[in-house]
Structure 1
């Protein structure tokens, strides 16, 4: 598996740049269309919250994308963040007894 060297964008950034802005939607209008609060959508767009499985489904329905694409973006972002602190994890390698 290839090592990802650069921080992937937060899915909220992708949502804003590729879905909401091109359609000329306000956060309020997009939130209403998604059936979520403005506060919820704003937190995602500003990188303060992640994409849940339910939100991924909402986004796929609203923007004719796949829920899997949104979940994959979130996983890649979360994994990159976690890898930045991997050396701080206290883990012992576990192997089968010989």
Structure 2
């Protein structure tokens, strides 16, 4: 999952990536599931290239989730509701799911 504090997070082919570091015009990424799935996947984008030109340097240790981007968007919407509505995030989630 991509979280708000991960400002540079994006999705490619069912995987999410966050910026690890930048060096010599290249942007290096790690899999956003590195903690939850212990995934060591790494990638980079060459200087001047787009996100869809991602070069994978280490494979993922988990299968892709093609609904991951949608799940992330839904979770962010629920978090926004939780900010404005009374109750915990879990309570807001349960009330939204029951609709």
Q: Same fold (TM over 0.5)?
A: no
Q: TM-score, normalised by structure 1?
A: 0.30
Structure with larger Rg: 1
Is the helix fraction higher in 1 or 2?
Answer: 1
Pick the structure with more strand per residue: 2
